[in-house]
Amino acid sequence: MKGLGPIAVALVAAFAIIMIEGIILNVFVFKMIGFKESTLEEEYISAVNKVEAIKRGLPYALYYSYKEALKRAGVNDISGISDLGELEKNVTIIFNEYRKKVEEKTNIVIPAGKIEIKTSSSGVEVSFSSSSLISYSYSSSSLNFVIKENPNVTIQIVNNELTEKFY
């Protein structure tokens, strides 16, 4: 019986060490899995924020394109323009420059579309419409996704200033 006591103590000690190691490894493994999942979630949230920022910036880019086209035509407002078709063409050229720079810097694709300018007694409406969607693709070994948003926007310009009415 003397020989069984030390063996039993050794077995209990070995079992306790194995259990403690198992608990510690389990905690570390779940922490690593949680860290990996949160990193993937952060990547997705960052992408959504980028696309939303671009989408919110479209009215301002459209307004800038309109103002720059007027400036290049050598006039200060729409009353100095005789051919709205030519103005639409110039706004489209400037807006396309913006689209390309956004894609170069962010990999967010703003599709080509049609720009229309309408005048009324209250001001000017500038519209951008496209049948395609704004898109952003992300791909890694553990995560793949594509975000798509509607790019269509109409702005209203009153007294040569952008109003906060976006459609």
Mean pLDDT of the chain: 87
In this predicted structure, what is the pLDDT of residue 167?
Answer: 58
Q: pLDDT tens-digit profile of 14-69?
A: 888 888 888 888 777 777 777 788 888 888 898 999 999 999 999 999 999 999 99
Q: pLDDT tens-digit profile of 74-87?
A: 888 888 878 888 99
Does residue 96 have a pLDDT over 90? yes
Cα distance between the two ends of the chain: 90
Q: What angle do CA 48, 92, 159 make, to 5 degrees?
A: 90
In this predicted structure, what is the pLDDT of residue 165?
Answer: 64
- Domain count within the chain: 1
In this predicted structure, what is the pLDDT of residue 166?
Answer: 64
Phi, psi of 156 (to 5 degrees): -115, 130
| pLDDT greater at residue 110 or residue 21 | 110
Tokens of 82: 């005789």
In this predicted structure, what is the pLDDT of residue 2?
Answer: 64
Does residue 111 have a pLDDT over 90? yes
What is the domain extent for residue 125?
A: 4-166
| pLDDT greater at residue 91 or residue 78 | 91
Burial class (CB in 10 A: 0-12, 13-18, 19+), 13: exposed
- Among 21-25, 39-43, 125-129, 156-160, top mean pLDDT goes to 125-129
Non-local (6+) Cβ contacts of 81 within 8 A are 70, 73, 75, 87
- Average pLDDT of the residues in 139-160: 89
The model's pTM: 0.75
Sheet with 161-166, edge to edge strand ranges: 114-119, 124-129, 153-158, 161-166
Please report, rounded to a whole number, the percentage of residues in the chain having pLDDT higher than 70. Answer: 96
Q: What DSSP designation does 109 have? A: B
